[in-house]
Structure 1
Amino acid sequence: MRRKITALLLGLGVAGVSLLATSGSAQGHGYADSPVSRQQLCGNGTVRNCGQIQWEPQSVEGPKGFPAGGPRDGLICSGGNQRFAELDDPRGGAWPASAVRAGQSHTFRWRITVRHATTDFRYYVTKDGYDPRKPLARGDLEPQPFLTVPFGGRLPDSTVSHAGVLPQKSGKHLILGVWTISNTGNAFYACSDVTF
């Protein structure tokens, strides 16, 4: 009897370890808060009816390799994660937008809840003529990031800030921040609606 109980407990332990090892990413990592991201707007209650993202704004993780890889068009703001599909909903173009100044320096900031070895942070902006009433697609973005901050595999602090010059734009646009992790197959995505 003792041998059967020991074997059962060992089997349950192995199953538990296997489940943890194969369950994917840990809960919570980081999000952009300058300019304020959609997930932060949901997390702080500024925007309602956000689903699960309101409880875990730091969890917008998806495959890395953007723009050649990564989440598919229409699912970019959620990182391709269906649990956070509300981030891909353009809400008729009514997401609150941060006021920014074209051609001026801006301090971009991320709040990091779980630190990861980092390749870089990259920022893309939508092209002129962008329609904020439609889900974000690659074709909506300028092909090259306007700012890339290399990290060389280092661990970021709990708050990461870096300055960059905003592109020459006018009107409502979207800035996509991509935090690429160096030692996993994933990146974190943050969509920030802005008005130049």
Structure 2
Amino acid sequence: RAFYFSEEYLRCLFKDYGFVTKELGLCCKQVENRSRELVMNRRWIQAVFCTIGAENGNPVLRESSNDEGSVQNEVGNGVLLKRCTEGEVDISEGVAIEMFGISVSEDEIIDLSFGDLNFRIKVLSKEYQHTCKSTGMMLWESARLMASLLAENPSITAGKRVLELGSGCGGICSMVAAQYADLVVATDG
């Protein structure tokens, strides 16, 4: 599998912009839609970082073990994230509610607000999101989190040129970044 950036490049990139990488790793999840006889293998690089100088502040992040077969330490209230060794990661819906403030919904219209910006995005209902091999027909929870982070910290993109790889059909991160950046180019495969 090929990725756009190496882990070391991402660590350096975060550091250049004032962030210390606490954890960085490959995550894997296999999504199956039995009614359509379809199995999708999802892989992504996921990182936990904090601002420089806050390494010892709250929240306290415990170091995870580097053993391939180990289970990472707690994330929240006893919810565990298993390291990618068998091609599957199980993250409960409770984590999405706790971390991103969203619940599982059957709605096809999603209303989002980031400061003064309001978006209404029409997406496939959750029932049909995993019916094709494409991942672009859904609004990822990570996009909501990143858009929120960008809206609350405009200095991240202010006066800069931004290239978003894999913006998806919603493109909310690019739309938030466009409020402060000199130029934003959103791409998706």
**Aligning the two structures, in what range does the TM-score lie when normalised by the shorter sequence?**
under 0.3
* Structure with the greater alpha carbon radius of gyration: 1
If the length of structure 1 is used for normalisation, what is the TM-score? 0.22
If the length of structure 2 is used for normalisation, what is the TM-score? 0.23
